[in-house]
Amino acid sequence: MNGRNLLRMLSSLKLTVALLFCVVIICLIGTAFPQDGVSALAHSHVPGIASLLSPYDIFHSIWFIAAGILLCVNLVLCMRGRLNLKRKNLLMLLLHVGIILVVIGYSMGSLSLEGFIEIPEGTAVSQAMLKKGSAYDLGFSVRCDRFTIERYTNGMPKEYISDLSFLKDGAVAGQARLMVNHPARFEGISFYQESFRDTFSASVTVADSKGVKTYRMLQGEVIPLSPDGTRAEVVKVWDDLMRTGPAVKLKISGPSGEQYLWVFRDLKLLKERMPGILEQMPGFDPSGLRPYTFSLESLDASPATGIGVKRDPGAPVAAVGGVLFLLSLLLLLAVPRVNAGREKGREKIPIAQRKPSGKRTEGCREGTV
Amino acid sequence: MNSGTLIGIVTFVYLGAFGLSITGLATGKRELARFVLIAALAGFALHSAGILLRWHESYALGNGHVPLSNFYESLVFFSWATVLVTFVGIKGQARETVLAFVMPGAALMLGYASFSPGVENAIQPLIPALKSNWLAIHVITCFLGYASFFVASVFGIIILGSSRPAEEMHALGAMFYRCVMIGFIFFTVGILTGSVWAQMAWGRYWGWDPKETWALITWLIYAAVLHERIRGGGMTRRVAVFSLVGLASVLFTYLGVNYLPGLHSYF
């Protein structure tokens, strides 16, 4: 194939239609395989053609990007000859420029920030967990002053509300009420109400030969118990375990290894209900780990709000592209339909010029739409 | 009478119009066409009243919102939109033929909405994710797009079923193009408003959620229909075939995606 033929092929509408269907097929694969990132990782070791197709991350695959680039090249080449500024052709040009802008805006997504913060009510957070797994310093901190769930009379949730304060150098620099569909912005970063959960803090008393100490422990928090490296962590909490009330499961790690201990708030009730249980289940004995004796004073639940943290410099570009596309499309329909003549048998402008041989030309510079 | 009963009645009015329509086509009694039109119009008026009544009922329940918030309401609106597009978009004799296809389609959607035990038709208050001004405009434009594509594919079927070359069926080709183009515009607005809403709600305007991806697939297929029409120099059989592929994609975007995990679970 010589250069001229290649150019003709690259600027043909046949290629446009073929490429559109290629993207359709790639998208089909994209909805048939989960694109959640987890599956991609789980299947990353699978060798051969399957991984080459990268079906679990198809929208970042070479196939998708290549099809997209080819489509854009095809589009630009098609538009090349339309630069004569006739009204209709100009609209056609603007319409396709709109698509290119959307593609450019979307491609700028690699510059975007996409993270998550979880703030227990009453506390502040200054780092976001990025989707990639690393932490991102926001440059300020966000405090959740209050998290509220409003409900309808039938109990269905009506609104999730986070009242936030943005703190700079310890002082409140801004405040916002965050709700679903009502994001907040601070210093160029947008915040979205995404989720919530109850977090628990346990008040645990530890007695040993040296004395008695009370710790306030959040779930997952690790507390050092002694200089020899022994530490405790609340790994699980229950509102009501074995119908005796609150309980926590502690992981005690030390020089002698790891051990688990179930600490009940109401040990007396447990012993009454099930006599001999401490002998049967050594893990239930609060003094089972020498020299410590654990007791659970209280277990308090407080809500934590889950907030999406985003910044996407490409979004305005894509938005301009989308609006440009739509406006051109609307105007195109409003402009008197030049080509309608043919379908009503009053042909004025040929839609596809035919070569003397009768074969249709494939180049899309001929004809109108 | 509540809106549910009214919508149930409309199902039978549309079925009646369909019965009249095929009788007319089969027996060649052209005078029946007038009664088809009257029945369809009466059904459409009741249908519109049903939607307004349901809107009113939601306010009476104290959680007023546009009736476009669950699967039942979307079926009722989709059905309404197909009839609307037929009346507004199609003129003359072609409308009679199109009604013969649209009436059973509209009745099927309403019948499924009203009588399938799997479709919940109680009016529920809006969950926080749906409490947005973008809900109405997004759903209305998407379904007007779907409806126009549906009517366009009726022309596709007629053209494919005819023994005449597609290129010669100018009037049908022109109406086909009009429906595809109007559908394409509505659907584009639907996707754009959807992405603005997604940006407001989730902080990303495009996230390859199955519904989003399938909407793109449908949009690309109709883009292919429009380009193939230019390439082929007008209406061809291939364009008609593409439009039927498009209809299959519309149906999957609307119904099939619910069987894939995603964020659009309310429809």
Q: B154-207, pLDDT tens digit by residue?
A: 999 999 998 888 878 888 999 999 999 999 999 999 999 999 999 999 999 999
Q: Residue A365's pLDDT band (boundaries 50, 70, 90)?
A: very low
Q: How far is A182 from chain B (nearest CA, A)?
A: 7
Q: Residue A15's pLDDT band (boundaries 50, 70, 90)?
A: very high
Helix%, strand%, coil% for chain A, nearest 5: 35, 35, 30
Q: Name the least confident of A40-44, A61-65, A268-272.
A: A40-44
Phi then psi for residue B129, to 5 deg, are: -65, -30
Q: Residue A44's pLDDT band (boundaries 50, 70, 90)?
A: low
**Residue (of A13, A293, A361) closest to B223 by Cα position:** A13
Within an 8 Å CB–CB cutoff, is residue A183 touching chain B?
yes
Within an 8 Å CB–CB cutoff, is residue B244 touching chain A?
no
Question: CB count, 10 Å around CB of A23?
Answer: 20
CB contact under 8 A, A34 and B261: yes
* Per-residue confidence (pLDDT) for residue A330, from 0 to 100: 92
- Inform me whether the pLDDT recorded for A90 exceeds 80: yes
Here the tokens at position B203 are 């902080």
Mean pLDDT of chain A: 84
Q: Would you list the DSSP string of A56-71?
A: GGGGGSHHHHHHHHHH
Could you read off the pLDDT of A305-314 as tens digits, one per residue? 999 999 999 9
Nearest CB neighbour to A364, from listed B216, B230, B261: B230
Here the tokens at position B234 are 């007008």
Could you read off the pLDDT of A166-188 as tens digits, one per residue? 999 989 999 999 999 999 999 99
* Per-residue confidence (pLDDT) for residue B251, from 0 to 100: 95
Could you read off the pLDDT of A228-239 as tens digits, one per residue? 888 999 999 998
CB contact under 8 A, B185 and A329: yes
* Per-residue confidence (pLDDT) for residue A136, from 0 to 100: 94
The alpha carbon of residue A209 and the mean position of all alpha carbons in its chain are separated, in whole angstroms, by: 50
Within an 8 Å CB–CB cutoff, is residue B195 touching chain A?
yes
CB contact under 8 A, A340 and B174: yes
Nearest CB neighbour to B260, from listed A23, A31, A192: A31
Q: Residue A351's pLDDT band (boundaries 50, 70, 90)?
A: very low
CB contact under 8 A, B189 and A326: yes
Here the tokens at position A324 are 């440009």
Here the tokens at position B249 are 């994609």
CA dihedral of B140, B142, B145, B146, whole degrees rounded to 10: -110
* Per-residue confidence (pLDDT) for residue A364, from 0 to 100: 36
Question: Which of B227, B242, B252, B259 should be substituted to probe chain A, the one whose Cβ sees the most A Cβ atoms within 10 Å?
Answer: B227
Question: Which of A117, A191, A320, A343 should be substituted to probe chain B, the one whose Cβ sees the most B Cβ atoms within 10 Å?
Answer: A343
Element at B266 (helix H, strand E): none
- Inform me whether the pLDDT recorded for B39 exceeds 70: yes
Within an 8 Å CB–CB cutoff, is residue B255 touching chain A?
no
Contact B199, B179 (CB under 8 A): no
Nearest CB neighbour to B231, from listed A14, A31, A344: A14
3-state secondary structure of A127: strand
Q: What is the mean pLDDT of residues B71-95?
A: 93
Which residue has better confidence, A358 or B3?
A: B3
- Inform me whether the pLDDT recorded for A50 exceeds 70: no
Interface A–B counts its CB contacts (< 8 A) at 136
* Per-residue confidence (pLDDT) for residue A1, from 0 to 100: 60
- Inform me whether the pLDDT recorded for A38 exceeds 70: no
- Inform me whether the pLDDT recorded for B264 exceeds 70: no
Could you read off the pLDDT of A205-259 as tens digits, one per residue? 999 888 899 998 888 888 888 888 889 999 999 988 988 999 999 999 988 889 9
Q: Residue A366's pLDDT band (boundaries 50, 70, 90)?
A: very low
3-state secondary structure of A280: helix
CA distance B246 to A369: 20
Query: Nearest residue on chain A to B133, judged by CA atoms?
Result: A181
Q: How far is B72 from chain A (nearest CA, A)?
A: 19
Question: CB count, 10 Å around CB of B41?
Answer: 14
Contact A310, A112 (CB under 8 A): yes
Q: How far is CA B82 from CA A17, A282, B26, B36, B226, in A?
A: 28, 70, 24, 16, 21
Q: How far is B34 from chain A (nearest CA, A)?
A: 27
CB contact under 8 A, B208 and A154: no
Phi then psi for residue B197, to 5 deg, are: -65, -45
For helices B93-115 and B170-202, give the axis angle rounded to 10 degrees: 40
Nearest CB neighbour to A345, from listed B170, B208, B214: B170
Residues of A in contact with B124 (CB under 8 A): 156
Contact A58, A24 (CB under 8 A): no
Which residue has better confidence, B92 or B145?
A: B145
Query: Nearest residue on chain B to A350, judged by CA atoms?
Result: B233
Could you read off the pLDDT of A153-165 as tens digits, one per residue? 888 899 999 999 9
Within an 8 Å CB–CB cutoff, is residue B136 touching chain A?
no
* Per-residue confidence (pLDDT) for residue A347, from 0 to 100: 37
CA distance A359 to B139: 44
Which of 59-98 (B) contact A at CB < 8 A? 62-63
Q: What one-letter code names the amino acid at A269?
A: L
Mean pLDDT of chain B: 92
Residues of B in contact with A20 (CB under 8 A): 220-221, 223-224, 227
Question: Which of A11, A14, A17 should be substituted to probe chain B, the one whose Cβ sees the most B Cβ atoms within 10 Å?
Answer: A17
CA distance A214 to A226: 14
- Inform me whether the pLDDT recorded for A265 exceeds 90: yes
Which residue has better confidence, B250 or B28?
A: B250
* B187-B190-B191 Cα angle (round to 5): 90
Could you read off the pLDDT of B209-236 as tens digits, one per residue? 899 999 999 999 999 999 999 999 889 9
Instruction: Note the maximum CA span of chain A.
Output: 105
* Per-residue confidence (pLDDT) for residue A296, from 0 to 100: 94
- Extents of the domains making up chain B: 1-114, 127-267
Contact B189, A326 (CB under 8 A): yes
Within an 8 Å CB–CB cutoff, is residue A196 touching chain B?
no
Percent of chain A with pLDDT over 70: 83
Q: The dihedral of CA B26, B29, B34, B35: what is its sign?
A: negative
